Amino acid sequence: MPIFYGKAPLMDYLKSIKDSQKTIGFVPTMGALHEGHLALMKKSLQENDTTVVSIFVNPTQFNNPEDLEKYPRTLEEDIKKLTNLDDSIILYAPTVEDIYDGKPTSQSFDFDGLENQMEGKFRPGHFNGVGTIVKRLFEIVTPNNAYFGEKDFQQLQIVKKMVSKNKLQVKVVGCPIHREANNLAMSSRNERLTPQEREQASLIYKILRTAKEKFSKDSTLTISKWVQKAFENNTQFTLEYFTIADEATLLTCTRKNKTKKYRAFIAVIVNNIRLIDTISLN
Ligand code: PAF
């Protein structure tokens, strides 16, 4: 499997692929690869002549230094998983220096307010960091198609906005959430949970499923109060937010409108580890 640690040789290599009119699919990741990532890669392999995967734990999108420090880094195992999947995949695993040429800093973006909701409220600067790295990676890889998981639905909408505002020639493809056997959304952060916490975290999806059932008959306020109550007596899981929002604007829904599509979004903290999940409601 071709592996590049620096952008210059990668760009050189990709130039000949572009010159021969071949399409490039791209899956950006922060590593600690799981089935959810592999599903994005399988889709990219099906839909493109060449697939590039990046593994880079991007420091500028972490607002919490402990979260950055403890983020799982498993490059060797990741390389094995990629090779097993398809050894034609091109891996880009840059250093911080290769991406940021000096001190890592974020560009400041205007995502038309998408950045101010949910994750944006609780993780200041996070989406400037995401916008900075994704734009940078798109410039280096120049993909035709790029694949992102819907677990980070706000990130997906923000990347689409960044692409349309900057008129980038890349199609952003959102892919369904992959879940563990107990329905916990797959995430690299799950690795940091104890087996017991991991099992108990099935509660998050149970809450989302029930919220979905309630959505056709109850008001969004009633549902939100019910969710808060469900977490009140739970000493292990702290609810950071639960929101029902318009899929397109990500603005909180106070009155349902039949013409709009809504989603529930949730962030929960367990043992200092943040877990997020989302479900489509209609
Ligand atoms: O979703 C992620 O893993 C990251 O936010 C991304 C898109 C790879 C940017 O660092």
pLDDT per position as a tens digit, 164-217: 999 999 999 999 999 999 999 999 999 999 999 999 999 999 999 999 999 999
How far does residue 168's CA lie from ligand 1's centre (Å)?
18
- Report the nearest-CA residue for atom 9 of ligand 1: 130
How far, in Å, are 57, 102, 150, 207 from residue 71 at the CA level? 8, 22, 20, 26
34 an active-site residue? no
Q: Is the dihedral of CA 84, 32, 129, 117 positive or negative?
A: positive
Rg of the Cα atoms in the chain: 19
- Report the nearest-CA residue for atom 8 of ligand 1: 29
Pocket of ligand 1, candidates 134, 138, 162, 191: which has the most ligand atoms within 8 Å of its Cβ, to mutate?
134
CATH number belonging to the domain at 3-175, selected among 3.60.15.10, 3.40.50.1780, 3.40.50.620, 3.40.50.10860: 3.40.50.620
> For residue 52, what pLDDT is reported?
99
Query: Phi and psi at residue 170, in whole multiples of 5°?
Result: -140, 140
Residue 233: pLDDT over 90: no
> For residue 267, what pLDDT is reported?
98
Give domain 188-280's CATH architecture. 2-Layer Sandwich (3.30)
Instruction: Give residue limits of the domains in the chain.
Output: 3-175, 188-280
Q: Pocket around ligand 1: residues whose beta carbon is below 6 Å from it? A: 28-30, 58, 61, 130, 133-134, 152, 155
Q: What is the pTM of this model?
A: 0.97
Task: State the catalytic residue, choosing from 34, 37, 126, 178.
Answer: 37
Residue 102: pLDDT over 90: no
pLDDT per position as a tens digit, 31-53: 999 999 999 999 999 999 999 99
Q: Of 40, 163, 185, give the one whose Cα is nearest residue 111.
A: 163
Phi-psi region of 131 (alpha: psi -120 to 50; beta: other; left: phi over 0): alpha
pLDDT per position as a tens digit, 110-153: 999 999 999 999 999 999 999 999 999 999 999 999 999 999 99
Burial category of 200 from C-beta neighbours within 10 Å (exposed 0-12, middle 13-18, buried 19 and up): middle
Q: What is the mean pLDDT of residues 232-248?
A: 96
